[in-house]
Amino acid sequence: MRSLAFIALFVSACTSPDSSAPTGPSFASVHDRLAAEPTRLFIPGEGSTGSLVAEHYTNGAWVSGTSTLTIDNGELVAKLAGDQLVAQTFDVSFAPIDVPESVFGKPAQLIDVRVTLATSATAAATWTSSDDATTSLPLQLDLSWSLAIDNTVAPLGTQHLPVIPLDLALTGAGDHVDGSFALHAMGDLWSWADLLELSQLDLQLSGATIDD
């Protein structure tokens, strides 16, 4: 009997919930989560689009066209400080961009294309509920990339872009946050030897937290 009682006690101990097991934090709303800790929204390639206006000089004239950008991935890390939303990280990477063959007389690509936040950005957030907010963050972005041509990769200088507003909408609940982002950069972004110019960057992005 003592053996049976011991076995029953052992099985009960093994199958009972472990009250000491760690559990993740729980938040009542998106507002509470952002106020409590920096929140990371992962930006996958799916569901995001981008475009860039490119002009190249050929046969004595400038030829302009809009190139579609393929987003590889990215992230936004943000938190609340009082009524201000603070973007601590904004980082988006892109697939290679083909350069018109007429620019160099041979195929070429811009590779390792990436925009990153140079310094944190802050703006007041408008909340329609504790789970829904909008804001426009003034981003100071750095644009980095390399030129690949003839099996040679040449890093290009980092471009310090003018301040670009990021229109941001957040929704969800305390345990999950979704975000949509719109970024429009007008004007010239980069030029090379009076042969190639890039301008008018447009991004439509979506992101979400990745929760355990």
CATH number of domain containing 115: 2.40.160
pLDDT at 17 over 60: no
Are 189 and 199 a contacting pair, CB within 8 Å? yes
Residue 33 in domain? yes
Q: Which residues pair with 144 in a beta bridge?
A: 114
Residue 58 in domain? yes
What pLDDT is stored for residue 11 in this prediction? 42
Tokens coding 6: 């011991």
Residue 115 in domain? yes
Distance, CA of 202 to CA of 207 (rounded, Å)? 16
E-strand stretches of the chain = 39-44, 49-58, 61-69, 71-81, 84-94, 97-99, 108-117, 121-124, 126-129, 132-139, 141-149, 152-160, 164-173, 176-192, 196-208
Are 180 and 206 a contacting pair, CB within 8 Å? yes
Residue 15 in domain? no
What pLDDT is stored for residue 9 in this prediction? 39
Chain centroid to Cα 86, Å, comes to: 15
Residue 20 in domain? no
Tokens coding 211: 């929760």
Task: State mean pLDDT over 12-22.
Answer: 48
In the DSSP assignment, the letter for residue 30 is H
Q: Which residues pair with 160 in a beta bridge?
A: 142
This prediction has a pTM of 0.81
Distance, CA of 75 to CA of 84 (rounded, Å)? 19
70-85 pLDDT, tens per residue?
999 999 999 999 999 9
pLDDT at 194 over 50: yes
**What is the tally of structural domains in the chain?**
1
Residue, of 50 and 54, whose pLDDT is higher: 50
Backbone dihedral angles phi then psi of residue 106, each to the nearest 5 degrees:
-160, 160
Residue 46 in domain? yes
Residue 161 in domain? yes
Residue 37 in domain? yes
What pLDDT is stored for residue 24 in this prediction? 57
Query: By residue range, what is the domain housing residue 176?
Result: 27-208
Neighbours of 182 (CB within 10 A): 14
